[in-house]
C-alpha cells in the first residue's frame, strides 16, 4: 500500500519519507490487479497503489489518505520524483474526496516502463498541485512486478483468453494512434439523450496483421449502447504493430482498454 510523507508550509524542507507499515500486497479484484502498500501511521496510513490494465502500456498510480493529508478536491498536475530516475513530464491527475468518509484519493497514469524504473528506488515522492508533497520509502522489488504480471495473466485466463498465446508473446504489440480509436462522435445518441454515462471495460485480439478482431465486453458499463459503441469504434479504427514471438515472427496477442463515457458539461 502507499505511504506518504506530508510536508508542511510552502518553503519548508521536505519531511523524511514515511516508512512501510505493511508488506506489499497483490490484490485480485473482479476486473483488475492492484499492488498496494501502506506507509506512515498504522492508525491512519497513506497507501500507494499501482493498478495496471492488462496488456496496456499505461497503469494507474493511486495515493490514498485522508482529506487533510492529501488536500482539497481538484484536477491536479502531478510530478513524480525518485533518486536516480528521470520522469521529466508532469502527469494530469485528479484529487477526489470519497463521499462516505474522510478519505481522499490522488490518481494519475504512468507507463509500465516508469513503474519498472521504481524497482529498488529508496524514496518515492508525489507532488500534486495545491496539496502537500507525499514521500515514502517505496521499497518495491522485482517480486512485486512479477506478482502483478501473474495476477494479470490469471485475470485474462478468467476472461477466456488463451494462456499459451499470452506466453508466446516476447515483444508486445504497439498500438498505432490509440487516442484516435474512440472519439466524442462515437457517443451513442440514445445514451446522450437519456444522459447515460459509465465505463466500459473491453478486450480484443490483435491479429498477425495488426488488426483488431473479436472485441468483447469484459465488464459492462451498465449501458449496452455504450459497451457496443466501445467495441465498434475499436474494431473500426484499431491498428497496431503485431506482437512478436521469440523467433521474431508476428503472433496473435490480446489487449484491453477501459473506455470512460463522460457526458459533456
Query: In this predicted model, what pLDDT tens digit does every residue of 149-169 receive, in sequence order?
Result: 888 888 888 888 998 998 899
- Determine, yes or no, domain membership for 10: no
Three-state SS for 207?
coil
Q: Does 54 lie in the same domain as 98?
A: yes
How far is 166 from 78, CA to CA, in rounded Å? 33
> How much is the average pLDDT of 178-202?
93
15 — pLDDT class (breaks 50, 70, 90):
confident
Q: Does 187 lie in the same domain as 77?
A: no
Which H/E stretch holds residue 234?
helix 224-237
Three-state SS for 89?
coil
The alpha carbon of 203 is separated from its chain's Cα centroid by a whole number of angstroms, namely: 15
- Determine, yes or no, domain membership for 42: yes
Q: Does 115 lie in the same domain as 89?
A: yes
How far is 165 from 92, CA to CA, in rounded Å? 34
What's the whole-number average pLDDT of the chain?
90
Predicted local distance difference test score (pLDDT) of residue 10? 41
Question: Domain boundary residue among 116, 144, 172?
Answer: 144
How far is 90 from 81, CA to CA, in rounded Å? 11
pTM of the model: 0.76
Q: Does 50 lie in the same domain as 133?
A: yes
CA nearest 53: which of 168, 181, 204? Answer: 204
How far is 191 from 17, CA to CA, in rounded Å? 47
146 — pLDDT class (breaks 50, 70, 90):
very high
Question: Domain boundary residue among 112, 144, 176?
Answer: 144
DSSP 183-247: -GGGS-HHHHHTT--EEEEEEEEEPTTSBEEEEEEEE--S-HHHHHHHHHHHHHH-BEEPEE-TT
- Determine, yes or no, domain membership for 8: no
Q: Does 132 lie in the same domain as 59?
A: yes
Does the pLDDT of residue 11 top 70, yes or no?
no
195-215 b/e (C-beta count within 10 Å ≥ 16 → b) = ebbebbbbbbbbbeebebeeb
Domain count, the chain: 2
- Determine, yes or no, domain membership for 151: no
How far is 157 from 162, CA to CA, in rounded Å? 6
Tell me phi and psi for residue 157, to 5 degrees: -65, -40
Question: Domain boundary residue among 82, 115, 144?
Answer: 144
Count of CB atoms situated within 10 Å of the CB of 72: 11
Q: Does 178 lie in the same domain as 137?
A: no
CA nearest 19: which of 138, 118, 121? Answer: 138
CB 230 within 8 A of CB 256: no
> How much is the average pLDDT of 50-59?
82
Q: Does 215 lie in the same domain as 139?
A: no
CATH code: domain of residue 188? 3.30.2420.10
CA distances to 113, 120, 183 from 168, rounded to whole Å, are 21, 29, 33
For residue 201, the enclosing domain spans 159-261
Does the pLDDT of residue 185 top 90, yes or no?
yes
- Determine, yes or no, domain membership for 34: yes
- Determine, yes or no, domain membership for 65: yes
Amino acid at each position: 500500500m502507499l505511504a506518504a510523507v506530508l510536508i508542511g508550509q510552502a518553503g519548508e524542507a521536505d519531511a523524511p519519507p514515511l516508512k512501510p507499515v505493511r508488506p506489499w500486497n497483490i490484490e485480485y479484484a473482479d476486473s483488475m490487479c492492484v499492488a498496494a502498500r501502506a506507509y506512515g501511521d498504522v492508525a491512519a496510513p497513506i497507501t500507494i497503489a499501482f493498478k495496471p490494465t492488462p496488456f496496456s502500456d499505461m497503469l494507474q498510480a493511486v495515493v490514498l489518505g485522508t482529506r487533510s493529508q492529501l488536500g482539497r478536491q481538484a484536477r491536479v498536475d502531478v510530478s513524480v520524483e525518485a533518486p536516480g530516475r528521470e520522469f521529466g513530464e508532469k502527469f494530469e491527475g485528479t484529487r477526489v474526496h470519497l463521499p462516505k468518509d474522510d478519505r481522499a484519493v490522488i490518481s494519475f497514469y504512468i507507463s509500465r516502463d516508469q513503474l519498472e524504473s521504481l524497482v529498488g528506488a529508496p524514496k518515492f515522492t508525489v507532488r500534486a498541485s495545491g496539496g502537500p508533497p507525499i514521500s515514502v520509502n517505496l521499497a518495491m522489488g522485482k517480486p512485486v512486478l512479477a506478482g502483478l504480471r501473474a495476477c494479470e495473466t490469471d485475470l485474462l485466463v478468467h476472461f477466456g483468453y488463451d494462456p499459451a498465446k499470452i506466453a508466446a508473446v516476447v515483444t508486445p504489440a504497439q498500438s498505432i494512434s490509440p487516442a484516435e480509436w474512440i472519439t466524442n462522435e462515437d457517443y451513442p445518441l440514445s445514451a446522450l439523450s437519456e444522459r447515460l454515462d459509465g465505463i466500459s471495460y473491453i478486450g480484443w485480439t490483435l491479429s498477425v496483421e495488426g488488426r483488431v478482431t473479436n472485441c468483447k465486453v469484459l465488464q459492462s458499463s451498465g449501458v449496452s449502447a455504450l459497451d457496443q459503441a466501445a467495441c465498434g469504434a475499436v474494431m473500426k479504427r484499431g491498428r497496431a504493430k503485431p506482437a512478436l514471438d521469440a523467433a521474431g515472427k508476428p503472433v496473435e496477442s490480446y489487449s484491453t482498454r477501459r473506455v470512460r463515457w463522460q457526458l459533456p458539461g
